[in-house]
Amino acid sequence: MARAVRSDKPRLLENIVCVKGLLLSASGAQPTTDKAGAAHMHNTRGLGLANCLAAYDVGVKTFASSLGGLGGCPYAPGASGNVVTEDLVFMFEAMGIRTGIDIPKLLAAREALHQGLPEEPIFGMVADAGLPKGWRQAGP
């Protein structure tokens, strides 16, 4: 279910570049806390997860992503879609950063997505490779 999110925090929306320098400049090279806002990244050149990690490193803790990387950007011709939620959650959980999102349930939701949009390409490295043997999500 989609829902509108209202926030007084700034949001960083990236399309096709690496954002680390921009993030450091915007944050004054100091990690921030409640003022960090949110980030919405695309994965056009394979930098989406790296950009999310760069945003996290300077204090961003809220990310917009999409199941299967669904979507794109009308303002960036050739944009390949949004950061894949499954890959983003896996990255943070593998780093020991608890997300509160159940990855096996998230991966199972892809089937409903595929059935509902059978012609739409669905992306995701974790879905393609599977979870590592003995995988356990980050603890509380």
Domain residue limits at 57 = 11-127
- Asked, for residue 6, whether it belongs to a domain, the answer is no
Question: What is the pLDDT confidence band of residue 138, given thresholds at 50, 70 and 90?
Answer: confident
Task: State yes or no: pLDDT of 18 exceeds 50.
Answer: no
Number of folded domains in the chain?
A: 1
CB 54 within 8 A of CB 30: no
Average pLDDT over residues 119-132: 93
Q: Alpha-carbon distance 15 to 127, whole Å?
A: 23
pTM for this structure? 0.76
- Asked, for residue 50, whether it belongs to a domain, the answer is yes
Q: pLDDT tens digits, residue range 46-59?
A: 888 988 998 888 88
- Asked, for residue 140, whether it belongs to a domain, the answer is no
Question: What is the pLDDT confidence band of residue 35, given thresholds at 50, 70 and 90?
Answer: low
pLDDT of residue 21: 52
**Catalytic residue (one of 41, 73, 103, 126):** 73
Does residue 52 carry a catalytic annotation?
no
Exposure string over 47-69, b if 16+ CB within 10 A, otherwise e: bbbbbbbbbbebbbeebbbbbbb
